[in-house]
């Protein structure tokens, strides 16, 4: 035996958000974060960093073999940490962890974080995330949900609860909306209240062992994976605590190994009563299904069955030129293959309800049926009220209807979610491009021209086209980059596939709808390459009116002249984004920020006609 063999676990530094106990937060959320660390510790020596830090200093101190960055979380009392100097220690591989729902409106913030931190490979906890972020699908793997068997197991509780109804049942959960009332009206039930994550009452919800024991005392427990067909923790917690899982049939659930009437029961609104009557009339059959579900979970879906991040680390160490890493399925192992083989990771194939509506709306929009397209996009918001893809498309519809103000407001709100609410350094590049286009459609060309370089690291084909429009309208198109950028920023949006000529014609038509015919005419002539004799005079643009807007622009310009770029806020110098508030907040130490709240409204109140 070679005594020099190093048997130590590889070192993992996990940059996790500050998920400290919060009196108003649901206890199970904190447990989920702790269980993720516990899962990683099965293969790594884990060091959790949940405070603002210097990446270089952390690497010097802990000498990690791998670093993992949590990102994209939709905060429920948790704090996103700030990490600097991530461009150092390039020999240490870095991974991103999208620890959120696949439809979350922080996805643009996640992609911004990954760009800023120089991360090109990602893991997600949701099986459907590749479908919601197709731009990074090739480098995205799934580290799916699991249970901690020390919490979820058979406590030997007497089965005294016929049905337990737990979890929220609003628009995001159409299956629960259909099924829960039918069950509640027919059978004795233990019903958990539907408190929101942020509610002060959320802390009163059952969690941990108390929740597991309640499941263990139940005959059947229904749950679903939302309108997205996702597989959520409850799918594993219920059978893992030895209760009979009643659920919706989806591709993700079947990929996890669930089989109808073998280890779970698939139902819908049309047969739920019939099937539950059968289960209660045949207790031996119910016990058999329950036992099989318990066996499935404890043999395939505990924290010891989630080695995907460790597998990537080991495979990446020996990765050769011409090789890549793929995943055999959302719950499967990772493996190396030759790039020439054309093998790809296997993802869940399932058309979520919102994706189907988006696809239908896009087809209608391309056919010019704007009102019908809007109905599809608005229907998406019935599932997820903040869905960014639907809001972005509604902004495009508003432009096509000539309502530039409405489009502008929608785009302002989208950008604020990413750079203000989430705190990313820059917005989604497609949203930023259309924000500039909406400004032009409002007749605020000069503002769009000044803001086009506000986020210098942004690059995307739609953004290139927006810059091309600005250059052509300013009659300075010569030398403008017309090809694609070498490194295009990833976006959560997938604009329609048009060539440059088709796109410019589309925008010229949009300008006409927004009562900007002169600009449309200039754009058409420029895009057609008119001769010198045919060229029209450049349009005259009136400066942005209002002393407040001029003041915002002047202050930002002064910061640049004084070389104080590091103190400039990451929000555009406009009242809609509360630029002065963010500027003051950055200049004042954290301990002295209290008085700022008293002047916040005075600084941030937008002028008439501006966004909120």
**Mean of the per-residue pLDDT values for the chain?**
88
pLDDT of 603 reads 44
C-alpha distances out from residue 527 to 76, 260, 368, 452, 537, Å: 48, 59, 23, 20, 15
pLDDT at 488 over 90: no
Collapsing DSSP states into helix, strand and coil, what is residue 124?
strand
Structural element, H or E, at residue 219: strand 218-223
Answer whether 195's CB lies under 8 Å from 204's CB. yes
Is the model's pLDDT at 1 over the cut of 50?
no
Residue 609's pLDDT is what? 36
Do residues 165 and 205 make contact, with C-beta atoms less than 8 angstroms apart? Answer: no
CA distances from 425 to 109, 110, 382 (A): 8, 11, 30
- Do 244 and 286 touch, CB atoms closer than 8 A? yes
Task: Write down the pLDDT at residue 477.
Answer: 45
Q: Note the pLDDT tens digit of each residue in 433-456.
A: 999 999 999 999 999 998 999 999
Percent with pLDDT over 70 in the chain: 87
Which pLDDT does position 47 carry in this prediction? 98
The pLDDT score that the predictor gives to residue 428 is: 98
Lowest mean pLDDT among 48-52, 300-304, 492-496, 543-547: 543-547
**222-247: average pLDDT:** 97
Sign of CA dihedral 39, 217, 196, 394: positive
Please tell me what DSSP assigns to residue 418: I
User: Given CA atoms 87, 93, 99, 105 in this order, what sign does their dihedral have?
Assistant: positive
Mean of pLDDT values over 230-238: 97
Residue 512 in contact with residue 399, Cβ under 8 Å? Answer: no
Separation between Cα atoms, residue 488 and residue 479, nearest integer Å? 20
For 125-131, what is the mean pLDDT? 96
CB 412, CB 106: distance < 8 Å: no
pLDDT of 483 > 60? The answer is no
pLDDT of residue 604: 44
| 368 phi and psi angles, rounded to 5 deg | 85, 10
Confidence of residue 138 (pLDDT cuts 50, 70, 90): very high
- Residue 261 CA to residue 274 CA, distance in Å, equals 13
pLDDT of residue 589: 58
Q: Tokens for 481?
A: 């980059």
Q: What is the mean pLDDT of residues 379-394?
A: 97
Decide if 301 contacts 238 (C-beta within 8 A). Answer: no
Least confidently predicted of 42-46, 50-54, 565-569, 599-603: 599-603
Q: Write out pLDDT tens, residues 509-522.
A: 999 999 999 999 99
| Structural contact between residues 74 and 387, judged by C-beta atoms closer than 8 angstroms | no
Question: What is the pTM (predicted TM-score) of this model?
Answer: 0.90
Least Cα distance to 455 among 420, 497, 427 occurs for: 427
Percent of the chain surpassing pLDDT 90: 72
Q: How far is CA 434 from CA 314, 377, 474, in A?
A: 42, 17, 18
Confidence of residue 605 (pLDDT cuts 50, 70, 90): very low
End-to-end C-alpha distance for the chain, whole angstroms: 70
- Does residue 480 carry a pLDDT above 50? no
- Per-residue pLDDT at 326 exceeds 80: yes
Residue 371 binned pLDDT confidence (cut-offs 50, 70, 90): very high
Judged by average pLDDT, the poorest of 25-29, 367-371, 403-407, 504-508 is 25-29
Domains observed in the chain: 11-144+306-341 (3.40.50), 161-302 (3.40.50.2000), 386-527 (1.25.40), 547-604 (no CATH)
Q: Which residue has the tokens 């996640």?
A: 110
Residues 300-313 have a mean pLDDT of: 98
Q: What are phi and psi of 218, to 5 degrees?
A: -105, 145
Per-residue model confidence as pLDDT tens digits over 546-561: 666 777 777 877 777 7
Residues 496-505: what's their mean pLDDT? 92
pLDDT of residue 594: 56
């Amino acid at each position: 035996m070679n005594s020099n063999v190093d048997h130590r676990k590889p070192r993992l530094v996990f940059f996790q958000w500050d998920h400290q106990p919060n009196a108003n937060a649901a206890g199970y959320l904190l447990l989920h974060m702790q269980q993720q660390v516990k899962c990683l510790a099965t293969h790594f020596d884990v060091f959790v960093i949940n405070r603002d830090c210097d990446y270089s200093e952390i690497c010097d101190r802990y000498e990690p073999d791998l670093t993992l960055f949590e990102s994209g979380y939709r905060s429920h009392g948790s704090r996103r940490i700030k990490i600097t100097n991530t461009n150092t220690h390039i020999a240490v591989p870095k991974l991103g962890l999208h620890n959120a729902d696949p439809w979350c409106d922080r996805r643009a913030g996640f992609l911004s974080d990954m760009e800023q931190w120089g991360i090109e490979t990602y893991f997600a906890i949701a099986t459907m995330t590749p479908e919601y972020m197709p731009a990074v699908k090739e480098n995205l793997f799934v580290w799916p949900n699991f249970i901690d068997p020390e919490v979820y197991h058979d406590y030997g509780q007497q089965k005294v609860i016929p049905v337990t109804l737990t979890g929220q049942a609003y628009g995001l959960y159409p299956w629960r909306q259909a099924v829960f009332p039918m069950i509640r009206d027919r059978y004795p039930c233990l019903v958990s209240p539907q408190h929101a994550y942020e509610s002060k009452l959320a802390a009163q919800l059952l969690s941990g062992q108390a929740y597991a024991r309640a499941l263990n005392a139940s005959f059947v427990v229904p749950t679903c994976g939302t309108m997205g067909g996702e597989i959520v923790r409850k799918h594993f917690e219920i059978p893992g605590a030895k209760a009979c899982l009643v659920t919706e049939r989806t591709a993700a659930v079947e990929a996890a190994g669930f089989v109808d009437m073998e280890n779970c029961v698939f139902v819908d609104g049309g047969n739920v009563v019939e099937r539950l009557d059968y289960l209660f009339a045949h207790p031996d059959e119910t016990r058999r299904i329950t036992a099989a579900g318990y066996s499935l979970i404890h043999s395939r879906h505990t924290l010891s069955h989630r080695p995907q991040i460790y597998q990537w680390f080991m495979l990446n160490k020996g990765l050769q030129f011409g090789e890549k890493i793929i995943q055999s399925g959302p719950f499967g192992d990772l493996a190396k293959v030759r790039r020439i083989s054309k093998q790809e990771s296997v993802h869940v194939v399932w058309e979520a309800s919102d994706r189907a509506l988006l696809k239908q709306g896009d087809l209608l929009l391309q056919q010019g049926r704007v009102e019908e397209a809007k109905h599809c996009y608005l229907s998406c918001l019935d599932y997820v009220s903040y869905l960014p893809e639907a809001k972005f498309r509604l902004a495009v519809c508003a432009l096509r209807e000539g309502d530039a103000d409405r489009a502008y407001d929608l785009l302002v709100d989208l950008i604020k979610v990413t750079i203000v609410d989430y705190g990313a350094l820059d917005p989604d590049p497609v949203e930023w491009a259309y924000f500039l286009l909406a400004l032009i459609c409002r007749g605020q060309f000069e503002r769009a021209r000044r803001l086009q370089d506000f986020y210098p690291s942004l690059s995307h084909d739609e953004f290139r086209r927006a810059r091309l429009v600005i250059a052509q309208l300013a009659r300075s198109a010569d030398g403008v980059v017309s090809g694609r950028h070498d490194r295009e920023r990833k976006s959560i949006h997938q604009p329609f596939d048009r060539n440059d000529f088709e796109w410019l014609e589309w925008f010229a038509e949009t300008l006409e709808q927004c009562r900007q015919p002169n600009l449309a005419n200039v754009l058409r002539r420029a895009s057609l390459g008119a001769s010198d004799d045919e060229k029209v005079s450049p349009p005259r643009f009136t400066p942005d009116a209002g002393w407040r807007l001029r003041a915002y622009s002047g202050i930002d310009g002064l910061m640049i002249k004084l070389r104080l770029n590091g103190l400039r806020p990451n929000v555009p110098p406009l009242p809609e984004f509360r630029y002065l508030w963010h500027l003051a907040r950055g200049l004042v130490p954290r301990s002295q920020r209290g008085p700022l709240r008293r002047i916040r409204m005075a600084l941030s109140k937008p002028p008439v006609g501006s966004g909120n």
